[in-house]
Amino acid sequence: MAEEKKTIEIRGFLQLDAFLRKKFGTMPIFYDIDGPLTGLELSRELGIKREDIEVIFVNGFVQDINYVINPSDRMAFLPPGCPGPYRIALGFYGKNQGNTANFKIKREDTQQEGEKP
């Protein structure tokens, strides 16, 4: 008996929306996967460059790019460039420490004397 593939729903925000629409001709994309895979693995399959992704959404929650996506999940790629206040409200900062595209918040305990926050 052949193994059944599972589908995930994919969306893109900002310029990634245009990239995915051009490549697949529709939005959202219903994409077959064999089993769990990370956001980074999926981005490679779709031809999205790593530097074009800041975070991913999985089932409505912000996650880092290495979060595991499972069959039947809904996910979206979000590129760098989301306006400041939304970054904190949506949880980008906490999920994004290892990403060079991350907006860094300078902590008071790392500031030099006389520096403003």
Strands (E), 1-117: 6-12, 29-33, 37-38, 55-58, 61-63, 68-69, 74-78
Provide the residue count of the chain: 117
Residue 24, pLDDT > 90, answer: yes
- Is pLDDT larger for residue 5 or for residue 109? 5
* pLDDT tens digits, one per residue of 47-96: 999 989 988 999 988 898 999 999 999 999 998 876 666 555 566 655 55
The span from the first CA to the last CA of the chain, in angstroms, equals: 62
Which pLDDT band, with edges at 50, 70 and 90, does 44 fall under? very high
CATH class of 6-101: alpha beta
Q: Of 63, 66, 18, give the one whose Cα is nearest residue 41.
A: 66
Give the side-chain half-sphere CA count within 13 A for 47. 6
Domain ranges of the chain: 6-101
Which pLDDT band, with edges at 50, 70 and 90, does 2 fall under? low
pLDDT of residue 17: 94
pTM above 0.85, yes or no: no
